[in-house]
Each structure stands twice: as structure tokens, then as C-alpha cells.
Amino acid sequence: MKIGNVEIDSQLVLAPMAGVTDLGFRTICRELGAGYTVTEMVSAKALCYQDKKSIPLLKLGEGEHPAAAQIFGSDPACMEEAAAIAGEVSGADIIDINMGCPVPKVANSGDGSGLMRTPDLAVRVAEAVVKGAGSRPVTVKMRLGWDKGSINCVELAKAMEEAGVAAVAVHGRTRSQQYAGTANWDYIREVKEALHIPVMANGDVFAGKDAVRILRWTGADAVMIGRGCFGDPWLFQQAQAALEGREIPLLPPLAERCATAMRQFEINAAHKGEKIACLEARKQYCWYLKGVPHAGYWKEQICHVETMEDLRRITAGIQRDLK
């Protein structure tokens, strides 16, 4: 896949997810097969007002290329300025516009998937970001539409291409669905058939074989993996094996999975501080233990961690007591 002037030698993309795709998790996913990663979404207004908490979200890992920095907002002038700032501070190869976030506080204010309700404004935002990004290509991540009565992904995607956007990613649900029900891949196929730029397919990829299915069904250029990799970055290994027709590898032993989780938290502690890394680990570590028999006691312990030493102690206990 080639996005503008950026070559991406993989069909596996890690979706941008607030509170999930931080530096630590992106690092792990890249090591396990994600060929292209995107930062958590960052508010354009926060960047324009030089909010110190937002800049670190754009930091890329060593050698994390190709990668994109994602921004969100609905004010064209602000988005143009934010695109320039995001590109400069992150060094990202690509700037991505969030037109898919379904969270009410974002969408109801006209940002994220709220832009799908105002396609004329969405076009002006895209044109502004293309201008602000300079030589960096611009991409858009969107949903099918606001609700089932206003599905406009094909029309909006065509408008994005005309505005100079270099690729789009489409999640196969409407905003009103949030993450409920089943993703509709048919509309993603329609988007792919209507465009000349690359299309990334997103939604309901929870196993390696799902990556093959969504690409075959939609004809998309790449698969963007989101919730399926929560606590399971090995999904990228399994997806790559499925794409190559190889035997799909099993999950590694629990001890190795816990060691991987700890490395993720250590990267984050070095990047954002021990306190924040531990607070976030309360949720993220439990994802790594999903489906593990008799893990209830340790999940309860994880929900109260405050230090990296707490996490190391719990990890040693899990590796000792559970298999």
C-alpha cells in the first residue's frame, strides 16, 4: 500500500484508540507484526493552545515508521494549524483526521463522527489539514454514517479523495451503533470500489482468519485492527500467518504474555511517568488475563496497583500460580 509518497510494506494496521494505543502498546504491536501504527487521537484545540499534556501523546517510538499522528476537531483553521504542529512535534509520516470517534462528548460537539453529519464542513476540514500537513499525506478514519438512516460513507469518502486525502479507513458501523452488533463490510467494499486511493477496512477482526476474510470481502488494501488486539498483540502474528497461508501460531504461554505486558508498562512508565502508567495498567493488564482460568484474585489485585513494584510483584505471583 502506498499512501501519498509513503510506502507501507504490510497489510496490517493498528487502529488509533484513545487510552489504548499509547507508545508502549504501539511498540509491542509493531514488534509482533503491525506494519503501520497511528497515535491516540489528539485535540486540535489542545495543540493550538499548546496544552502540555497533549504533546507527549504524539511521541513516536524509536524507528516507529511508517506511522501517523491523529488529530480531531471541526474548526478548519484550528485543524490546519494543528496538522502542522502534530507533524512537527511527532515526526510522523502521515497526518490522520478522526471522523469516526463515536464518544458522545466528542461526536455531539461536531467532532469525530459528528463531522459525518456535516459533510460540507468535513470537506473544509480535510482541505485545511491537507494544507497544514505540507508534504505529509493526509488520511481520514470514518464510520458508515451517523445512523442507519444516514449512511453516507461512500459519498464522504469520494469527497475526501477530491479534497486531497491520500487514503481512508472505514469502520463498518454507524456512530449510533457504537461497538454493538456486527460490522457491515459491504459498505466498506462499496467505498473501495468508488475510490482510487487506498482503503483500510476496520471492524470485527478478532482472529487471524478474520483479517483474510475482511480483505477478501471488501477488496481493501489493508486491514485495520482495533479492539481485537486488546491484551492480545499476538493477533498481528496470527493475522500475518493467515495472510501468508501458514499455520496460525498459538498464543504464547501465560508467563510470556505477562512479561510482554510488563514491558509495555515499563515503556509507558519511562515515557509518561510511573503514576499514570500504573493507573492505565489497571485496565490494560486485565485485558491480558481475559479468559485465563482462576485469574479473578489477581485481577482484583491489579485494580489497586500504584507502583511498578506492585506490578512486578503481581506478575511474579501470576507466573507462579497460573498456567
Question: The domain spanning residue 283 has which CATH number?
Answer: 1.10.1200
Q: Give mean pLDDT, residues 145-149.
A: 96
In a domain, 191, yes or no: yes
Compute the average pLDDT of residues 143-169: 98
CATH for 239: 3.20.20.70
The grid coordinates of residue 129 equal: 489539514
Residue 317 in this model has a pLDDT that exceeds 90:
yes
User: Does one domain contain both 235 and 262?
Assistant: no
Same domain, 233 and 268: no
Residue 52: predicted pLDDT: 86
Q: In this predicted structure, what is the pLDDT of residue 137?
A: 98
Residue 249 lies in a domain: no
Q: Residue 260 is part of which domain span?
A: 254-321
Do 29 and 106 have their domain in common?
yes
How high is the pLDDT of residue 145? 98
Average pLDDT, the chain: 97
Q: Other CB atoms closer than 10 Å to residue 290's CB: what's the count?
A: 11
- Cβ atoms of residues 172 and 185 within 8 Å: yes
CA distances (Å), origin 257, targets 4, 15, 71, 276:
37, 21, 31, 22
Set 29, 48, 78, 101: catalytic member? 101
Domain co-membership, 192 together with 313: no
pLDDT digit string (tens) for 41-58? Answer: 999 999 999 898 899 999
**Residue 278 annotated in active site:** no
Give percent of the chain with pLDDT exceeding 90. 98
Q: What is the pLDDT of residue 304?
A: 97
- pLDDT of residue 154 exceeding 90, the answer is yes
Sign of the Cα torsion 200, 95, 270, 55 reads negative
CA distance 308 to 277: 8
- Residue 66 included in any domain: yes
- Rounded to an integer, the average pLDDT of 185-212 is 98
- What pLDDT sits at residue 323? 73
Model pLDDT for residues 83-137, shown as the tens digit of each residue: 999 999 999 999 999 999 999 999 999 999 999 999 999 999 999 999 999 999 9
Residue with cell 463522527: 113
Domain count, the chain: 2
Instruction: Cell 488520511: give the residue.
Output: 139
Specify whether 270 is located in the same domain as 226: no
Q: Do residues 284 and 163 both lie within one domain?
A: no
pLDDT tens, residue by residue, 284-298: 999 999 999 999 999
How crowded is the C-beta side of 94, counted as CA atoms within 13 Å?
28
> Is residue 248 situated within a structural domain?
no
Same domain as 161, residue 21: yes
Write down which residue in 222, 243, 264 finishes a domain: 243
